[in-house]
Amino acid sequence: MSCTVRIASPLRSYADGAAQLRAHGDTLAEVLAHLEQRCPGIRFRMIDEHERIRPHMRLFVNNNEARELSAAVRDGDTVHVICALSGG
Amino acid sequence: MSSTLWIGTRKGLFALRADGARRRWKLSGPQFLGHIIHHVLQDPRAPRVVLMAAKTGHLGPTVYRSHDRGRSWREAAAPPAFRPVSTGEEARAVQRVFWLTPGHASEPGSWYAGSSPAGLFRSSDGGEHWQPVAGFNDHPMRPKWAALGTPDGEFLHSILVDPRDPRHLYIAISIGGVFESTDAGGDWAPLNEGCAADFLPDPNVPFGHDPHCVVLHPAHPERLYQQNHCGIYRLEGPGRRWQRIGRAMPKTVGDIGFPIVLHPTDPDTAWVMPMDGTSVWPRTSIGGKPAVYRTRDAGSSWRRMDRGLPRSQAWFTVLRQAMCADTHERPGVYFGTTAGEVWASLNGGERWRCLARHLPEIYSVSHAT
């Protein structure tokens, strides 16, 4: 499946400044694996060593927040990588 | 000899570079604006190499490496991370890479990193790939050694490599204590006898202490100094009992602080930066009057050194990585504050001058040549 990944600004240095990229995969895990191939290092900044989404990251498939990397991704979906931080 | 001070802050990396006389300093940066820089160190075995421990508010922790004295940086291919776990095992994730230490002189490219939660990691290729040190991270006692961490997690720091023996290592954990390995990290034993832990129900425990900073002098490596949450200590090996040398500090000042810094060639000379550890632990300069204290007799006596520092209403803190000495014949001493100032003394602390102001909160200051 082919999807669009919208990349939050703190991660764009890994994507040569791109705000969105095309990626492939049937699950969020597969999409992120494909993204990692194109943008080495980006995945570990979002996902910890135990496959958990980091505390200040939120991943959405279209308008639905995905809490697990097993979330399904369909052809034409948009994966949103959102950063959530408060305070100074 | 040129001098660079690497300034790691809560909002990026800065550098102060000086001429040979260290009279004129020029501030540059920020690099990595907005990144949280916990530690920056030059590789003494390869002076063009600098490693930096960083993260951002949003993104996970990592390590950057420079091979051109900080002009350009490249991220580690495999940053420090705990090993995968089996079902039911505690799944710890590195929240921050807090500490960096170059490995032994005989092992070029080797580095150690300490994390929060407490983890020890090693790289054999100059910081490109990091592996967990299983002898500590999976030690059956580790859950007890690092059981009392603060809500921010316990911190593993002060990784020391004995210059006589690359297999002889020390680490410190806040809160957890000091630990020693004589087999390259394969096994560890607590090294806290004599240290107070007066915040614990039983202060006479073998571990659970709160070392803030532990240092070893390359010319006298059997001696350790420690600035602890509960005082300043010295240990004379092969003995295993710490002596509270902070007892010689003025009672009105006490012996609480974060950093302790050694003279580059004189193992009897050290500098500390006392802070207020009374009542609710403000952790600021005492009475708003910052002062460095120096011993030249291994802690038997201490002298206040505050000429040039603010005389009043200066309420900053100096964190454990934020004070250092250079390697000049007459060593400079430097510290950075949580108020974003960098201070320097080129005469052993006799007189201080401010090199930079208005930086973000300073987490680390290190000297590079």
Q: Are B55 and B35 in contact (CB under 8 A)?
A: yes
Confidence of residue A81 (pLDDT cuts 50, 70, 90): very high
For residue B235, the one-letter residue type is L
CA dihedral sign of residues B263, B266, B270, B271: negative
What does the DSSP 8-state code read for residue B129?
Answer: B
The CA distance from B260 to B72, in Å, is 31
For residue A78, the distance in angstroms to the closest alpha carbon of chain B comes to 21
The ipTM estimated for the assembled molecules is 0.86
The CA distance from B304 to B348, in Å, is 12
Q: Report in angstroms the alpha-carbon separations of B196 from B64, B177, B188, B243.
A: 37, 11, 21, 10
For residue B156, the one-letter residue type is L
pLDDT tens digit sequence for B236-257: 999 999 999 999 999 999 999 9
SS3 of B36, please?
strand
Please name the residue ranges forming H helices in chain B: 134-137, 142-145
Cα B41 → chain centroid: 11
B-facing residues of A in 12-31 (CB < 8 A) are: none
A88 pLDDT higher than 90:
no
Sheet holding B270-274, edge to edge: B257-262, B270-274, B292-295, B303-305
- A44–chain B Cβ distance below 8 A for any pair: yes
From chain B, which residues contact A within 8 Å (Cβ)? Answer: 56-60, 62, 75, 77, 79, 81-85, 91, 93-94
The CA distance from B229 to B176, in Å, is 11
Lowest mean pLDDT among B196-205, B253-262, B266-275: B196-205
If you measure CA to CA, which chain A residue comes closest to B91? A50
Cα B221 → chain centroid: 17
pLDDT tens digit sequence for A3-58: 999 999 999 999 999 999 999 999 999 999 999 999 999 999 999 999 999 999 99
Asked whether the beta carbons of residue A84 and residue B77 sit closer than 8 angstroms, the reply is no
What pLDDT does A70 receive? 96
Closest in A41, A45, A49 to B93, CB measured: A49
**Bond preceding residue B360 cis, omega within 30 of 0:** no
If you measure CA to CA, which chain B residue comes closest to A84? B58
Asked whether the beta carbons of residue B79 and residue A48 sit closer than 8 angstroms, the reply is no
Sheet holding A78-83, edge to edge: A20-24, A2-6, A78-83, A57-61, A64-66
For residue B93, the one-letter residue type is A
Asked whether the beta carbons of residue B59 and residue A46 sit closer than 8 angstroms, the reply is yes
Mean pLDDT of chain B: 96
Q: Are B325 and B270 in contact (CB under 8 A)?
A: no
Closest in A45, A47, A50 to B91, CB measured: A50
Confidence of residue B156 (pLDDT cuts 50, 70, 90): very high
Q: What is the mean pLDDT of residues B287-315?
A: 98
The CA distance from B305 to B344, in Å, is 12
Q: Are B190 and B172 in contact (CB under 8 A)?
A: no
Q: Report in angstroms the alpha-carbon separations of B324 from A44, A74, B108.
A: 32, 55, 23
Q: For chain A, give percent helix, strand, coil, nearest 5.
A: 25, 30, 40
Q: What is the distance in angstroms between the CA of the first residue and the CA of the last residue of chain A?
A: 39
Q: Which chain A residues are closer than 8 Å to B86 by Cβ?
A: none
In degrees and rounded to multiples of 5, residue B269 shows phi and psi of: -105, 130
Class of domain A2-83: alpha beta
For residue A13, the distance in angstroms to the closest alpha carbon of chain B comes to 11
E strand or H helix at A37, and its extent?
helix A28-38
The CA distance from B192 to A20, in Å, is 53
The CA distance from B298 to B267, in Å, is 7
Q: What is the distance in angstroms between the CA of the first residue and the CA of the last residue of chain B?
A: 7
B151 pLDDT higher than 80:
no
In degrees and rounded to multiples of 5, residue A46 shows phi and psi of: -105, -35
Q: Are B261 and B324 in contact (CB under 8 A)?
A: yes
Task: Tally Cβ neighbours within 10 Å of residue B294.
Answer: 20
| DSSP string covering B138-204 | T-TTHHHHT-S--TT--EEEEEEE-TT-TT-EEEEEETBEEEEESSTTSS-EE--TT---TTSSSS-
Percentage of residues of chain B with pLDDT beyond 90: 92
pLDDT tens digit sequence for B158-173: 999 999 999 999 999 9
For residue B146, the distance in angstroms to the closest alpha carbon of chain A comes to 20
Closest in B58, B93, B94 to A56, CB measured: B58
pLDDT tens digit sequence for B97-137: 999 999 999 999 999 999 999 999 999 999 999 999 999 99
Closest in A40, A44, A56 to B57, CB measured: A56
Ordered by start, the domain boundaries in chain A are 2-83
Q: Which chain B residues are closer than 8 Å to A50 by Cβ?
A: 82, 84-85, 91, 93
Using CB atoms within 10 Å of the CB of residue B223, give its burial: 0 to 12 exposed, 13 to 18 middle, 19+ buried: middle
Please state whether beta strands B257-262 and B111-116 pair in parallel, antiparallel, or not at all (unpaired). unpaired
**Residue B97: partners with Cβ closer than 8 Å, 6 or more residues away:** B38, B39, B53, B54, B55, B61, B62, B63, B79, B80, B113, B114, B115, B121
In degrees and rounded to multiples of 5, residue A11 shows phi and psi of: -105, 0
Position with higher pLDDT, B149 vs A27: A27
Confidence of residue B346 (pLDDT cuts 50, 70, 90): very high
**Residue B294: partners with Cβ closer than 8 Å, 6 or more residues away:** B269, B270, B271, B302, B303, B305, B348, B349
Q: Is the pTM of this model over 0.90?
A: yes
Q: Which chain B residues are closer than 8 Å to A56 by Cβ?
A: 57-59
Closest in A44, A84, A85 to B60, CB measured: A44
